[in-house]
Amino acid sequence: MTQRTTATAATATTPSIARGSISSGRFRPCDDCTCSPGLLSRQGRRASLFLRQIESSRRKNHSHTRNSIAGDNASVYSSDTLCQSNKEVNTTHRLHALRDQMQKNDIACYVVPSEDEHQSEYVAAIDQRRSFISGFSGSAGVACITRDLLNFNADSQEGRSVLSTDGRYFNQALQELDFNWSLLRQGVDTTTWQEWCIKECQEMSEGLGNKEVKIGVDPKLFSYHDIVQFKKIIAAKLAGSKAKVSLVPVEDNLIDAIWSKFEIVPEREHNDLLMLHYEYHGEEFQAKRERLMNGLKEKYTESEAATSGAANSNSNSDAELNRHTFIVVALDEICWLLNLRGSDIEYNPVFNAYVLVNDSGETILFCDNPYSSDIKQFFSDNGIVVKPYEDVWKYLGVYVNELQAFSAADSGRTSSVFLPDTSSWRLVRSFENIPYKIIHSPIDFFKSVKNDIELGNAHRAQVKDAVSIIQYFAWLEDQLVHREALIDEYKAAEKLIEIRKTQKHYMGNSFETISSTGANAAVIHYAPPKENSAMIDPSKIYLCDTGSQFLEGTTDITRTMHFTKPTQEQMDNYTLVLKGNLAIERLVIPEGTTGYSIDAVARQFLWARGLDYRHGTGHGIGSFLNVHEGPIGIGFKPHLANFPLCAGNIISNEPGFYKDGEYGIRIENDMAIHVAEGLQFGDKKFLRFENITLVPYCKRLINVKLLTEEERKQINHYHARIWDKLVQFIQPQSITFKWLREEVSPL
């Protein structure tokens, strides 16, 4: 699955202004509806008119023939009856209510991010504030709303609003945003959302005689790093201007203040914790904790470690640091450290918590989730104290006072607080009066390097998921081609879950399945709606990006299929994507190589024909944890140059190509990184990639003429390995057996 924050140049231009929901002509209106597509999708309330029409047509014809149901030009495969209002602008009243709150807080611009206070990529329903206010349901984006201070009509709350998102979501945003919103395309439009906010506020300040104009943010939802960068941009943009623009924290979230006026606000999940046993994690908590504290002492107490805060300038870096404290913020890091899992966020086996650890032996877990007697015993045996989640802020105030007293008691003693670079502005502000250092969390590195037990389990998880996906594709082709059945994208994805449930230790999907036919496959992060989903057309490309959570590990696999006869263009472009995938897999790289430096290897064949894709080539994958795991990745984002690939990493390999309005192609394998035995240059070892995914490529889409002999042998060897690994799990007389035998036959 393509990772967020990985936008690139588009392969085709896209209008930067969101089309009005009425004027776009994309959807048919339905009676008495005031719902935008984004809100309907998020709330699961799309109209079922289309499916009722399908069912009516099937009853009339008493067959599965593909007859028109809505006129000569409509196909049963279309999904153009999406519920859409022609009476009311969906977000107008929400924006008006928000601007009322902005006025009460003396805010001219309010920024609503996608993240929760842990900077999670995927968040719980209660944290989907940006989706609520904008109607855009994608996982990545920032909403910016202004209140026009130059409009002196006291009864009117006017202003502008923009949504900024990356290349994976351009098409989706254009469909979901109503006419209150404009779209800023990251990597394409020259203006960033920060610059847009500053420009709007600068104009208002100048219009008011250079009065101070404030940009407000919830300090718990923005990382301290992002705030520092935002302030730098403000200073740079206002250099030489008399306008005054400031960035201020707004402690009480303004979206939360209005949400209940329009919807029933989702409740925060507090589900039971799950304890992993040694056979699934391979390293006990105390060993992980010791590694963490040793890492802090050895690496981050050096004088050149990055420091922040006014008090840091007076800290004695040469003094012996008698007490080290670290705050664990990222939810997957907390789960990894404690060998616990949760289910508070859909698809992510995590729970809401903070953890404080120090070298005085304290481990404090701030968490509201219930847990079993076994976990209670685990906490007791390891000295883990549990406190309510919201108590973290009050406790930190007390803890800061204790650290100050600790240092004051003896001039030779000091304390050092380490905060991860994902810390919220609110968290960092809690430590402003004592020395602290902002670091990249050592746990992020630790969990990205899987031990032998985790790697072995990853292989077992891949076998389970491959058997499920192969059964699914065999079933789908049989239904579509041989039985001429009508199957929509959503029902197909549900069938895959049904199949997966037969596997032992299946814990759910690792993300919402991208089940997309035809033009929908060109929407990089498309998610089929429960109702009114498009019918899968066997004469068009079908893209399925899907993954599982097993106790043994996490999977993320994409296959692009065609069930009849693809066009020559589709075959050629599929083969170019496949060649890039194979090239990454064949690579042997010296230790210290980053994913930033090998991204071009996957794109070279597309580039040669003037083609590209708008996302990164790979992301780290957790071990029964988040499907997108830092810090590693394969892509062009500059930060990836700071994190070398290591033996023990599991990383995706997923080049693609997308032709807007027609089709999309992506081929994704999960790869384990190993030391390349027998290769060494001086003291430097080399690394190789092992493709651990076991799902065949689509033979119909491969243009063998574009393959080199090496590539052809590579594919044939891979398909032979799939057969050897999986045939024992498949009934010889089943359609799955016949389908797999055909798909893995030599090119």
486, pLDDT greater than 60: yes
Which residues of the chain form CATH 3.40.350.10? 37-47+82-261, 274-448
Residue 216 pairs in a beta bridge with 110, 248
Confidence of residue 85 (pLDDT cuts 50, 70, 90): very low
Q: Output the pLDDT for position 156.
A: 62
Q: What are phi and psi of 328, to 5 degrees?
A: -90, 120
Confidence of residue 588 (pLDDT cuts 50, 70, 90): very high
Confidence of residue 600 (pLDDT cuts 50, 70, 90): very high
Confidence of residue 46 (pLDDT cuts 50, 70, 90): very low
Q: Output the pLDDT for position 241.
A: 94
Contacts of 80 (CB under 8 A, 6+ apart): 26, 27, 28, 74
Confidence of residue 211 (pLDDT cuts 50, 70, 90): very high
Q: Are 108 and 102 in contact (CB under 8 A)?
A: yes
Q: Output the pLDDT for position 405.
A: 82
- CA-wise closest residue to 216 among 132, 347, 104, 94: 104
For helices 193-207 and 224-237, what crossing angle results, to 10°? 50
Burial of 460 (0-12, 13-18, 19+ CB in 10 A): middle
Task: Enter the DSSP assignment of 629.
Answer: E
220, pLDDT greater than 50: yes
Q: What is the dihedral of CA 289, 291, 296, 302, to 10 degrees?
A: 170
599, pLDDT greater than 70: yes
Contacts of 109 (CB under 8 A, 6+ apart): 144, 145, 146, 147, 197, 200, 201, 213, 214, 215, 216
Q: Are 546 and 509 in contact (CB under 8 A)?
A: yes
Confidence of residue 13 (pLDDT cuts 50, 70, 90): very low
Q: Are 736 and 727 in contact (CB under 8 A)?
A: no
Two structure tokens written together for 514: 């991208």
The rounded distance, in Å, linking the Cα atoms of 525 and 742 is 30
Q: Output the pLDDT for position 533.
A: 95
Sheet-wide strand order for 307-308 = 307-308, 436-439, 414-420, 321-328, 353-358, 363-367, 384-387
Q: Chain-centre distance of CA 284, in angstroms? A: 28
Q: Output the pLDDT for position 139.
A: 87
208, pLDDT greater than 90: yes
Is domain 274-448 given the CATH code 3.40.350.10 in the classification? Answer: yes
Question: CA 89 → CA 49, 260, 263, 338, 358, distances in Å?
Answer: 22, 19, 16, 47, 53
98, pLDDT greater than 80: yes
Out of 402-416, 613-627, 711-725, pick the least confident.
402-416
pLDDT tens profile 603-622:
999 999 999 999 999 999 99
Please give the class, per CATH, of domain 452-743. alpha beta
Q: Output the pLDDT for position 534.
A: 97
Give the mean pLDDT of the chain.
87
Out of 250-264, 317-331, 548-562, 632-646, pick the least confident.
317-331
357, pLDDT greater than 70: yes
Question: CA 381 → CA 363, 384, 418, distances in Å?
Answer: 12, 8, 26
The rounded distance, in Å, linking the Cα atoms of 416 and 422 is 18
pLDDT tens profile 364-394:
999 999 999 999 999 999 999 999 999 999 9
Q: Are 611 and 328 in contact (CB under 8 A)?
A: no
pLDDT tens profile 112-144:
999 999 999 999 999 999 999 999 998 899 999
pLDDT tens profile 427-462:
999 998 888 999 999 999 999 999 999 999 999 999
Confidence of residue 701 (pLDDT cuts 50, 70, 90): very high
Two structure tokens written together for 195: 């610059």
Out of 46-50, 135-139, 353-357, 559-563, pick the least confident.
46-50
Confidence of residue 305 (pLDDT cuts 50, 70, 90): very low
5, pLDDT greater than 70: no
Confidence of residue 411 (pLDDT cuts 50, 70, 90): low
Q: Output the pLDDT for position 323.
A: 75
Which helix (H) or strand (E) element contains residue 295? helix 285-299
**404 residue type, one letter:** Q
Q: Output the pLDDT for position 322.
A: 61
- CA-wise closest residue to 122 among 345, 273, 323, 271: 345
- Percentage of the chain modeled with pLDDT above 70: 84
Q: Which residue has the higher pLDDT, 523 or 384?
A: 384
Two structure tokens written together for 604: 């070279």
SS3 label, residue 736: helix
Burial of 257 (0-12, 13-18, 19+ CB in 10 A): middle
CA angle centred on 630, ends 626 and 633, rounded to 5°: 115
- Percentage of the chain modeled with pLDDT above 90: 77
Question: CA 704 → CA 469, 525, 587, 658, 716, distances in Å?
Answer: 24, 29, 21, 21, 12
Confidence of residue 70 (pLDDT cuts 50, 70, 90): very low
Which residues of the chain form CATH 3.90.230.10? 452-743
Q: Are 353 and 334 in contact (CB under 8 A)?
A: yes
Mean pLDDT throughout 25-46? 43
- For 335-397, what is the HEC assignment? HHHHCEECCCECCECCCCEEEEEECCCCEEEEECCCCCHHHHHHHHHCCEEEECCCHHHHHHH
Confidence of residue 147 (pLDDT cuts 50, 70, 90): very high
Confidence of residue 84 (pLDDT cuts 50, 70, 90): very low
424, pLDDT greater than 90: yes
Out of 157-171, 303-317, 707-721, pick the least confident.
303-317
pLDDT tens profile 269-302:
999 999 999 999 999 999 999 999 998 887 655 5
Confidence of residue 89 (pLDDT cuts 50, 70, 90): very low
Two structure tokens written together for 108: 């001219």
Q: Are 194 and 28 in contact (CB under 8 A)?
A: no
Out of 278-292, 297-311, 320-334, pick the least confident.
297-311
Task: Enter the DSSP assignment of 540.
Answer: S
Two structure tokens written together for 404: 């100050």
Task: Enter the DSSP assignment of 667.
Answer: -
Number of H helices, E strands in the chain: 21, 29
CA angle centred on 197, ends 124 and 161, rounded to 5°: 60
Q: Output the pLDDT for position 154.
A: 59
Burial of 725 (0-12, 13-18, 19+ CB in 10 A): middle
Task: Enter the DSSP assignment of 599.
Answer: H
Is domain 37-47+82-261 given the CATH code 1.10.260.40 in the classification? Answer: no
